Structure 1
């Protein structure tokens, strides 16, 4: 049987008593002699292309919300650095008179480190104490508690980085002052003598590669 032209096919479809949905799974066999398999496939593809374009248009408004990247969780170091920076800023505000951050110098930093000693948990024996120089005293004593040298050294490192991240100049960074390094070295030596803990540098391993960094050990006091 000869096939009708495509416009006649459409006129025939519109003359049917009820609309016939042409989907990817609908190919009525009784219409094949009139329309031809090629025309049905053509109509079917147009239908699918239209539906696909509709889905893309509707889904485009959902893509930003569905695939929106969650803010990265700050690392433990970044969180601690932010807390230290806020604590130091609050310390400057509590001074009488308050000290602006732009006028902060190494003396304010040294006062801040001494202020933190009241919250320390490291027993530092005085020279007159019978346990002076003993790493593990057998009995309690009345010697004061101090901030451990390792904790102060790590604190200064975080504050030095936070100062420059908040707009401070490396040339005027009070946490990188030579007076701060001298103070930390004196605290390290004092605590090592009081508790009988020698400070030793980490030895380079024979099989250590050229790209490895050699650094001195950080002595953490408890």
Structure 2
């Protein structure tokens, strides 16, 4: 290839790269621009629910007359909040005089009130207790961890179990029992099958 041909080829390559719109960068972005930041991570279902519960409780305190600051909130405000939530409950809790009191599967409708289920309230308090500390509250001042709240929840659990005829049994913790090693793998696997 002659020197003249090399010069022409070089000009064509240079022109082609300058036409690419980047001054020889071949279409690359200038070094001073940054890619857009990644989107925030998706919250888990638990975290989303905890945030909603925390906002709902904060709104409840603001709606009090006079409004209650979070720093002045105590266990009595929490108990009032739990009682307030009962109006939105979906669990039928039979009253003492109801013909279905103590029956797990009532045969017909009755006029007994709907309440928040004990399990829902218990989970709610757990989320609010965590949210309180995550939002700067001191663990020793946490109104959701008060003994009065635990007593209230225990009373709700027992009264709902009695009214619905469903005895509440505390789950026993499973103890880790050591598995005896057998002489062969076959014996070990058959031992496990028998246990399950």
Q: TM-score range by the shorter chain?
A: 0.7 to 0.9
Quote the residue 1:129 is aligned against. Answer: 98
Pair 1:19-2:11 in alignment: no
Other-structure match for 1:54: 25
Distance in structure 2 (CA, Å) of the matches to 1:88 and 1:107: 13
Residue in 2 that maps onto 1:109: 78
Q: 1:176 to 1:206 in 2, by over 3 A?
A: closer
Matched residue pairs, number? 167
Q: Could you say what secondary structure the match of 2:105 adopts? A: coil
Q: Give ranges in structure 1 of 5+ residues lacking alignment.
A: 1-11, 27-50, 210-222
- Which of residues 170, 173, 178 is equivalent to 2:139? 170
Q: Which runs of 5+ in 2 are unaligned?
A: 14-21, 179-196
- Aligned with 2:35 (options 64, 74, 78): 64
Flag the structure with larger Rg: 1
Show the counterpart of 1:9.
none
Give the Cα separation in 2 of the matches to 1:82 and 1:56. Answer: 45
What pairs up with 1:116-195 in 2 under 5 angstroms?
Answer: 116-195=85-164
- Indicate how the Cα distance of structure 1 residues 64 and 93 shifts in structure 2: closer, same or farther if over 3 A, else same: same
**Counterpart Cα distance in 2 of 1:77 and 1:154:** 10
Q: 1:208 to 1:64 in 2, by over 3 A?
A: farther
Deviation per residue, 1:75-134 (Å, 9 max, x gap): 111111111011101100111100001000000000000000000011000111111000
Partner of 2:171: 202
Question: TM-score of the superposition, structure 1-length normalised?
Answer: 0.67
Query: Runs in 1 of length 4+ with deviation above 4 angstroms?
Result: 59-63, 204-209
C-alpha separation in 2, matches of 1:131 and 1:159: 34
Q: Distance in 2 between matches of 1:156 and 1:208?
A: 34
Alpha-carbon offset, residue 71 of structure 1: 1.2
**TM-score, with length taken from structure 2:** 0.76
Deviations 1:172-207 (A, max 9, x none): 000000000000000000000000111123344566
Structure 1: distance between partners of 2:173 and 2:69: 44
